[in-house]
Amino acid sequence: MDLSNWRGAPQPERVTLQGRYARLEPLSEAIHGADLFAAAIEPGADGRFRYLPDTTPPDYSAFTNWLQKAEASADPMFFAVIDMRTGRAEGRQALMRIDADNGVAEVGHVLWCPAIARSRISTEALFLMAQYVFDELGYRRFEWKCHNHNLPSKRAAERFGFLFEGIFRNHLVVKGENRDTAWFAMTDDDWKSIKPAYLAWLDPTNFDSNGQQRTKLAIGLKAS
C-alpha cells in the first residue's frame, strides 16, 4: 500500500452526530447531567461499571465532579448518547487514544444504560461514531479494546464488525487489578463492507411495531 501522499487526518471535533434512533452530542454537565446520573444508577449499575475505569457514582455531587472532568477532556472526547424517542441522555461513549497523524482512534468508556442497551439506539450510536471517524475524518483504523474477562464486550465488538487481533497481557492496572486487554479493530477497507450492513440493519423496515429486529446485524468479516 503506497502511503507516500499520506499527510495525516484532522482531529475530531465536538460535533453533534445525528441518526434516526440515536444522536451523539458533546458531553455537557448542564445539558446531560441529570439524565445521565439517573440512568447510571439504575439497578445493575455495579455490573455495568465493573470493567470501566470509573465507578458507580455514589451521589450526584461525585458524578458532577466526573462529568466536569469528562466534559473538559479532549482525549478521551466524550459524547452523550441521546434516545431520539424521549430526548433523554441514556448513555455515553468516547473517542480516545486519538492519533490523527496515523489516522487511528478508539471507541471507549462505553456505558449504555438499560433503556438503550442491546438496542438499535446503542447500535446506531456505535455506527455514527464509526461513520464520523471513517467518512468525515478519513481515518484508517478504528479500535475497540476491553478487559479479556469482559465477555459481553468482546461479543459486542465482533457483532459490530471489529476483528479480534490478540491479547496484550499485563497491559493495564485498573481499579487495583491486572487487565489483560483484548484488542479489536476495523480498517477503512473493512468499513466499505461494514457500512452497508449497518445501513440495511438500521432501516426501519427491519423492525416490527415493537422495535424488535427482523434480521440480525450480519457483518461477516474474516481475518486475513
- Give residue-wise pLDDT tens across range 12-24: 999 999 999 999 9
Residue type, 98: I
C-alpha cell at 157: 465488538
Dist. CA 105–CA 96, nearest whole Å: 6
All three cell numbers of 165: 487481533
Mean pLDDT for all residues in the chain: 96
Confidence grade of residue 221 (pLDDT, cut at 50, 70, 90) = low
**Per-residue pLDDT reduced to its tens digit, 106-119:** 999 999 999 999 99
pLDDT at residue 184 greater than cutoff 90: yes
Cα(73)–Cα(62) distance, integer angstroms: 17
Residue 219: per-residue pLDDT? 85
Tell me the whole-structure pTM to 2 decimals.
0.96
Go through the domains of the chain in sequence order and give each one's CATH number: 17-206 (3.40.630.30)
Look up residue 159 and give its amino acid: R
Taking alpha carbons only, the member of 125, 133, 119, 131 closest to residue 207 is: 119
**Cα distance between residue 55 and residue 40, in whole Å:** 10
Cell of 187: 480498517
